[in-house]
Structure 1
Amino acid sequence: MQYIEHKVGELVVSQRKSDGYISATKLTKAYEQQVGKYRNPNQWFEKDRTIEYLELLFSKTGIEVYDLVQKKGEGKSREVWIHPKLAVSFAMWLSPEFEMMVSEWVEQWLFTGQTPTQEPVNLHPYQRVWYERLMMFEQKTTLPKGTWCVFEEIGKLMRKLEAKGAPLHDRATVDGSVGRTWCHWLRKNGSDTDFEQYIHCYPDSRGEQLANIYPYELLGKFHEWLEETYIPEKFPEYVRKLVSPEECKLISEAIGYEIKPIIKRLKSSNSSDNNN
């Protein structure tokens, strides 16, 4: 990853060359050092105006909100990167001087011939996230010979859903649900679950997560368990929390088992009527 380093006082604020994203974390620290005043970025992110701006920027660029505001790392090392257009709005909240400064950074970056937006992908959000994960897996992951992982093997179920036009919420991680339930089933049946792990990469704020690697001798047992136990017994309960009643029907057709939608009860208006 290549960066443009902007000197602000004694600190350096980084900007990614590839997409123009600016480190809001470092920008805030630079402001605090210069002014001697603490600013909590969460206050800006929670403002109604900021939320409205994020929605407008999503509509214009097709970039999901969790990719407009990207969180990298954990704990004290966590760093927040924001889209260049968003960075100008954020700097405006800090001070007029910082607004002018960041505006110039973005303009200079644009003159290099880069573009601040990603091309919208004509896929449902779940499909987009899934395919981005597939691409990152293929680029970054090489499993040891004689092993497999749940993410690779769950593809058949995903293709069933895709073929029926049955999308899931973009934050759904079916492979995560499958992996947890599979390990629980193995332990329940007396198997050792102290498996080797690999780093699985997400294209959003979830970043890098550890996932199990399994030996080939468990592969047949896994698919038998998936078809006979997880899909009919566990998957309906998992997926119904993430989709609409209409989508429940589509997914039911795709997997051959009924997905009962969650019926949300409306709040009673009796209390308000009684006050009249």
Structure 2
Amino acid sequence: MSEIVKFDYEGQHISFEFADGNKMINATEMARPFAKRVNNFLRMEGTKEYILVLESRYADSRNEEKREVLRVVQGGTPELQGTWMDEKLALKFAAWLSPYFELWVYDRIEELLLTGRTELLGFQPSSVIKGLRMVVEQLEQQEQLNENVQEQLHKTAQRLDELESKIISVDDQYYTIAGYCNLKKIPCPLHLAKQWGKTAAALSRNKSIPTGTAHDERFGQVRTYHENVLKEVIG
């Protein structure tokens, strides 16, 4: 069954037919961008000898599927019309037209061998493409998972900072001067800690807010203050 795949070269569609054991390219379309005639290439002695060698090789091949070297289609479906060349002959023709074009044709053949089709026909991805798509999807899922994990780790780190800083005496809204500073990432030199402590104690009395006590490894029994008082005193 014939299956035509079209690639665009400088605004000109070049048709490839990779089916039924044949790998044919429309030479008539290949010649158009270069304003050259296919027949001029086919008349060359070197071309004629090359065609004979290809035909002999394909005739001796054990492959049961018959391969054509050259096919001329006149009339019928417009898409199939023109002179068609086997891929090896087409590459030789492309080199005659332009070395840059020869490389382009070679790349398109490689692409078809890899994918089987082209996006112009809305092909179903090959197993290789499917595999790559699965990898991409897994990476996307992993990235989302990483974001979720990082968010949880961030929340856990914040909670650890809070637990490290907090010494509960009356309820969980009470901190020592050092604990509150640690939680808020505020420098707490000893002279400021003493000054803030006196101010916090006075403010607590004035507002009738209870204070508490907690044990500190460095200073022994220390006073704790409500976080609203500490916020007003320290910031």
Question: Which TM-score band (shorter chain)?
Answer: 0.3 to 0.5
Greater relative contact order (Cα 8 A, min sep 6): structure 1 or 2?
1
Output the TM-score relative to the length of structure 2.
0.41
Output the TM-score relative to the length of structure 1.
0.35
* Bigger Cα Rg: 2
More strand by share: 2
